[in-house]
Amino acid sequence: MKKRDNNRLRIAIQKEGRLSEWSMDLLRNMGLQFDTYKRSLISCCTNYEMDILFLRDDDIPEYVQDGVVDLGIVGDNMVQECNAVVNRLRPLGFGFCELKIAAPESGAIRGVKDLDGLRIATTYPQMLSRFLEKAGVKAAIVPIMGSVEVTPSLDVADAVCDLVSTGSTLQTHNLVPIATVMSSEAYLVGNPACCDDGPVTVKIAQLLARLDGVLHARAAKYVMLNAPKVMTAQIQEIIAGRKSPTIVPLADPNMIAVHAVVEEGMFWEKMEQLKALGASDILVMNIEKMIA
């Protein structure tokens, strides 16, 4: 690997897999330009002092912990499985999944206590072991590399512990979830020393400011609407979010136009309340960046 230039940040993202496109989109939304030709191991940002390493997700927590890279984008499930000493800097709002224990639909295992003395196949032996210990259950963990869901039908295990997002893989294999070990999403993680006091600490802070601009923008919508002037106070009350809304008079003296930023989570609820107050011509726009 190229010798490290202390002035350049290094970030690791997944080379090929569920988090790759999301991670690259995020970096590009942060204004970073880079080439992904054949996803070579390393790509240098052309407009920022940062290099991007494309790795297997399993390797990212340790690379960050050991300072081979300063930052990484990886599922919290991986961080916890590796027990890596890293700073969880920001949850990123993608890669959502849950690590669940599941058992054959037709069997007798319906709760964690039923697993006593049985075999559980998983690619997450560390987390499963911690979970069973806490639950006071003694089961044999069968560590495997992949396709966990087929192990009960092959009589390799009695139950499985695997990541679930839609649940369709479990369903296809006639497995039902009986317990949740953890909920996960992708995180930006950082090497503790680099985040707190290293040659790239200031750069990390700058990058976090950019990231926050993108994450805040993703969590909000820009709304423009027309409404009866007599409703101004009620509309302001509903829409008052992070900042006072912009209220503009219209050619019709009885009407106003309102422009505001509305939190995504509250969006539909607020739109219904505004419509009930006579709001019309509602335009909703995605926000590219939002700097406080």
Binding positions for ligand PRT, rule: CB under 6 A: 14, 16-19, 56-58, 75, 77-78, 95, 97, 162-169, 184
Q: How far is the CB of 20 from ligand PRT (least distance, A)?
A: 7
Kind of pairing, strands 71-75 and 140-143? unpaired
Among 9, 43, 51, 57, which residue interacts with Zn ion (rule: CB under 5 A)?
A: 57
**Residue 68 contacts residue 59 (beta carbons within 8 Å):** no
* 58 contacts Zn ion (rule: CB under 5 A): yes
Rounded CA-CA distance 19/277 in Å is 42
User: 48 or 131, CB closer to ligand PRT?
Assistant: 131
**Residue 179 contacts residue 100 (beta carbons within 8 Å):** yes
Residue with CB nearest ligand PRT? 75
Compute how many other C-beta atoms are within 10 angstroms of the C-beta atom of residue 117. Answer: 10
Q: How far is the CB of 55 from Zn ion (least distance, A)?
A: 10
Q: How far is the CB of 59 from Zn ion (least distance, A)?
A: 8
Q: How far is the CB of 93 from ligand PRT (least distance, A)?
A: 13
* 237 contacts Zn ion (rule: CB under 5 A): no
User: 1 or 145, CB closer to Zn ion?
Assistant: 145
**Residue 102 contacts residue 150 (beta carbons within 8 Å):** no
Rounded CA-CA distance 235/208 in Å is 34
User: 46 or 168, CB closer to ligand PRT?
Assistant: 168
Give me the helices (H) in 136-200, please: 168-172, 192-197
